[in-house]
Structure 1
Amino acid sequence: MSAPSPEPPRRTALRRARDGWLDHLRVERGRSEHTLKAYQRDTERYLTFLEGLGVTDPEDVAERHVTDFLAALRRGNDEHPPLAATSAARAVVAVRGLHRFLTVEGEVEADPAREVQPPAPPRRLPKALSVDDVGRLLQAASLGDTPAALRDRALLELLYGSGARVSEAIGLDLDDLELGRGDDGTGGVVRLFGKGGKERIVPLGRYARDALDAWVVRGRPALARAGTGTPAVFVNVRGGRLSRQSAWTAIRAAAERAGLRADVSPHTLRHSFATHLLDGGADVRVVQELLGHASVTTTQIYTHVSTQHLREVYAQAHPRARAR
């Protein structure tokens, strides 16, 4: 004899209101079934929590109920483990959407979830390659003397040598390069246009300068002849401006040839640029300017990476760093 199926939840005023909100999202907002199922799953957990407290009407929900629900998500119970910040935040977003809808529709006078903020996800530290791994990557990008090989080497040297975003690199025009050799052995400057069109001038090291010079003089003309006279620094085999996807492909191919197991992307080289500068003693404000960050707070995340590097060096080098 099979066990009796559990009775469906009683259709309280709060559940009817939730169903009306989901219908609104489906019919009037055109949300996908995947999104609707996620919202239904998250609010079902919320309604069950409220019903356990005896709350079944939208008018009876207070801000403390919403904050207690968030705390319960993070704490976990017998039915589910503690939720990570990202999962809990998703549930709170659904709850806030439900209560905002009820307020706008005039179902309730006040929004009890308006001041409840989703938990912030943990900040991920940027992944940076070691100096040796960067050297292997750049060496792998320079195999051969074909126009494509010269271009890929120049692109990777530029990304690592200037900290440019990939969009800034592929957006470069020839007039943005100044490849004169400086008295100090450096290699000119590049003009980058960052977010919001903000312009910054970044110096180029000798390796980046030489790679760009080789590409512009010996490699680019062979490909540019196939195009329509584009001013782009980096062009594809048809002579048009190189795409973001092609830049990613070039980097991944070089990483594979170099035998790097890490997931290497254009941003990996930008992160490595910042981390290696700070490891070498650069001031964080200078790195901020080079990266084009509007706030130094954004740049300071790299100081945590450098601190970890210092700890590792200290642990390996100091005779009394480790317990015996």
Structure 2
Amino acid sequence: MNVFLKEYFTYLKLEKNLSENTVSSYRNDLSSFIRFIEEREINDPSQIDSRLLISFFTNLEKVGLTSSSAARYFSSLKGFLNYLFVNNYIKSNPIEKVSPPKLAKNLPGVLSFAEIEKILSLPNTAEILGMRDKTILEVFYACGLRISELISLKLSDLFLNEEMIRVFGKGSKERVVPIGSSAINWINVYLTKSRPLLQKRMKSENYLFLNSRGSKLSRMGVWKIVDKYIKESGIEKAAHPHTFRHSFATHLIEGGADLRSVQEMLGHADISTTQIYTHIDREFIKQVHKQFHPRG
């Protein structure tokens, strides 16, 4: 089975142009299924049928896997099996006969503008790393970026005079995103007073955000930075770097932005992905009604 997996992952990277992080996610999802079938001494794709798949997803449910994770496993497995079918390694795709796991519609967590401002106020901007951290938080909220997009920003992606930045999203798809005056101001401060000192140790780096050694910041590095300030803020909501993206989109829609514009800024291929934020907006409207209506 490993031969087919290796071929599939190569296809995802070269033909589908997926990033290493995305391919790694597929690899992790499929590894659970591979372990499952190997325990049953199944090594040939032709031995995979709908009953085996149902047994696999039933087993996931028994071990307490969340519905969202099960749905992701289903999607990853469907893609792999479809690849095998299209390339004539199997006669049919058995997953077509299996119902996908029911996904609970949980709304993404969102921070209020006041909570965002509280977090943004915490970095010590008298320090080199504090200036960098402040700039990271400002850019996250100003542009609604994913972590992978933020750490991939290069100096050549900045068009600050035009109040725009260039972003490479999923599948290396390029888009141009507006950036506000506050974030622009902090980028300029960082570029003038912080980044040159960080870059001294490794002058070849052209990435915007650098770590203390002068190298490109990692995903985990950014996660730790954001998590640090969220904890310092005392905000009790579950929040993480992606919460800034959710908050960015929600605040735009609350302010009257149209869905298509928000879709473009977020880099969503399908507008249905963006529509989740209209549900959050309805929750916001209901809260306003309860708070301010005499009989709310």
- Per the normalisation by structure 1, the TM-score is 0.65
5+ long unaligned stretches in structure 1: 1-21, 31-35, 44-72, 74-79, 101-109, 183-187
Give 3-state SS (helix, strand or coil) of 2:97's partner. coil
> Separation in 2 of the partners of 1:197 and 1:111?
29
The residue number in structure 2 matching 1:229 is 204
| Shift of residue 263, structure 1, vs aligned partner | 2.6
Match of 2:140 in 1: 159
Alpha carbons of 1:28 and 1:113: their partners in 2 closer, same or farther (altered >3 Å)?
Answer: closer
1:203 to 178, 190, 195: 178
In structure 1, what residue type is equivalent to 2:276? I
Alignment partner for residue 280 of structure 1, among 231, 255, 265?
255
Asked if the contact 2:37/2:43 (under 8 Å) is kept, the reply is no
- Contact 2:109 2:238 survives alignment (8 Å): no
Question: How far apart, in 2, do the equivalents of 1:193 and 1:281 lie?
Answer: 26
Q: Distance in 1 between the 2:215 and 2:223 partners?
A: 17
Closer, same or farther: CA 113–242 of 1 in aligned 2, 3 Å: closer
Q: Percent identity?
A: 37
**How far apart are the structure 1 equivalents of 2:198 and 2:127?**
10
Can you list the C-alpha shifts for 1:262-286, whole angstroms capped at 9, x where unaligned?
Answer: 2321100000000000011110111
* SS of aligned partner of 1:257: helix
User: Does structure 2 retain, via aligned residues, the 8 Å contact 1:85–1:119?
Assistant: no
Is 1:179 aligned with 2:168? no
Structure with higher Rg: it is 1
**Structure 1 range deviating more: 110-119 or 215-224:** 110-119
**CA–CA separation in structure 1 for the residues paired with 2:56 and 2:170:** 37
Check 1:40–1:161 CA distance in 2 against 1; reply closer, same or farther (3 A cut): closer
CA contact (8 A) 1:223 1:236 kept: yes
Relative distance call for 1:24 and 1:198 in structure 2 (3 A) is closer
**Of residues 233, 237, 250 in structure 2, which corresponds to 1:258?**
233
TM-score, normalisation: structure 2: 0.71
1:297 deviates by 0.5
Q: Report the count of equivalent residues.
A: 238
Cα displacement string for residues 170-228 of structure 1 (whole angstroms, at most 9, x for unaligned residues): 10000111222x7xxxxx11111101111111111111111111111110000000113
Looking at structure 2, the residues matched to 165 and 113 of structure 1 have their Cα atoms a distance apart, in angstroms, of 31
Match of 1:128 in 2: 110
Q: 1:42 to 1:259 in 2, by over 3 A?
A: closer
1: distance between equivalents of 2:263 and 2:207? 26
Inter-CA distance 25–307: structure 2 relative to 1 (3 Å threshold): same
Letter of the 1:148 counterpart = L
Q: Give the whole-Å Cα distance in 1 for the aligned partners of 2:57 and 2:119.
A: 45
Secondary structure in structure 2 of the residue aligned to 1:140: coil
Question: What is the alpha-carbon distance in structure 1 between the residues aligned to residue 168 and residue 141 of structure 2?
Answer: 17
- Partners of 1:111 and 1:212 lie apart in 2 by 50
Report the Cα distance in structure 2 between the residues aligned to 1:167 and 1:305, rounded to whole angstroms. 24
Instruction: Report the Cα offset of residue 146 of structure 1.
Output: 1.5
Which has the higher relative contact order, 1 or 2, with Cα contacts under 8 A spaced 6 or more apart? 2
RMSD, matched Cα = 3.6
Greater per-residue helix proportion: 2
Closer, same or farther: CA 122–246 of 1 in aligned 2, 3 Å:
same
Unaligned regions of 5+ residues in structure 2, if any? 1-35, 45-51, 82-91
